[in-house]
Amino acid sequence: MLTRRMGLQTVGLMRILSIAYGQFPQVFKLYSRFQPGIGHLKVILEITPAGGFERARFLTVFRQLAEFFPTISQHSCCEEWETAPLYLEKEDGVSIKRVGEAADVAHLIEHVIVDMQVGLGGLHRCSGLTCGWKDPDNRFDLFVECANARVGLFASQFAVYLVSRILTKRKLSARNRFVLTLAAYMQANPSVNIDVPGLARALGWKKRDTEMALSRLREFGFFENGKDDEVREEEDV
Amino acid sequence: MYRATPKRHNNRIKQLFMAKGLTARDSGNIADHESSPVAGLYRIVLNCESKNAGAEQRRKITVGFPTD
């Protein structure tokens, strides 16, 4: 089994090969409702093994994610196919498709990234694509609209971390909420000093919890330097 | 006569993260982003949409069409 290494290259069953940010015009051929002018994240992810994601296991992941990100339960599908909620209470499950493959897990990760883009990234609407490779069949390209590359980098790595933790540990620690809450606080207060005592006071947390959350934010790239407006149009000269 | 000049994307892809030991070629020819979605590369595409307008939160997902 793969194990976690530095920089979240490999987390449990997941391996992030790369994360890029820019304009990918050809993705409009796969989904016409992407908003023009907004950049996309491209996350290349491998899930090992490709199989073994039966419905019960999938639901374990989905239910815990729905607790952590309640708006996921409001998802619905499907344009051009049928309209139905993502979560069907009467079936106690999901309707998006017949689940049971790694693509469903990659798709959930994409949803978490989308959710965080809306919650943290300043987007009112966010669309994403999960594209499963033919070969290797455990590799996925996730394209997600993104207005802030730094937030996108964080959201991608944190989403993979959360899903991987559920798959390997079966239970998501409530302490992860500190990470998300601190990210939201830092986004809302961009000029705040990044010091543990001050943040602990402001949030009413123990220093230990604040330290942990801050450490995770650093690990997941939340403080990576870089301009957020890396992608823009220029006229021909 | 005025004729609109088409704009061209200044497509600067910013590499935010690359796993150690990998090259762009290893991870799906990252340098060639624009061609990948139409190269018959994918066996399945799942897409979704999130909308957050004020108090209303709506999510929409479009799922599952083969790319062959």
Interface confidence (ipTM) of the complex: 0.78
Size of interface A-B (CB pairs under 8 A): 220
Amino acid type, B67? T
Q: Would you give per-residue pLDDT tens digits along chain A (237 residues)?
A: 333 343 344 555 789 999 999 888 888 888 777 888 899 999 999 998 766 777 778 888 888 888 888 887 665 554 444 444 555 555 555 555 566 778 888 988 998 998 898 889 778 888 888 888 888 888 899 999 999 999 999 999 999 999 999 988 878 888 999 999 999 999 999 999 999 999 999 999 999 999 999 999 999 999 986 544 444 333 332
CA distance A55 to A48: 17
Chain B nearest C-alpha distance from A102 (Å): 12
- State whether residue B7 sits within 8 Å of chain A by CB: yes
Q: Kindly state the tokens that stand for A60.
A: 């374990």
Answer whether A160's CB lies under 8 Å from A8's CB: yes
Question: Measured between alpha carbons, how far is residue A227 from residues A151, A202, A224, B14, B16 in Å?
Answer: 11, 27, 10, 10, 11
Q: Say what angle helices A207-219 and A196-203 make with each other, to 10 degrees.
A: 110
Residue A1 belongs to what H/E stretch?
none
Using a CB-CB cut-off of 8 Å, the residues of chain A touching B52 are 118, 123-126
CA distance A154 to A113: 9
CA distance A176 to A157: 13
pTM: 0.81
Residue A131 belongs to what H/E stretch?
strand A125-133
- State whether residue B55 sits within 8 Å of chain A by CB: no
Interface test with A, best of B5, B11, B13, B17 (most A CBs within 10 A): B17
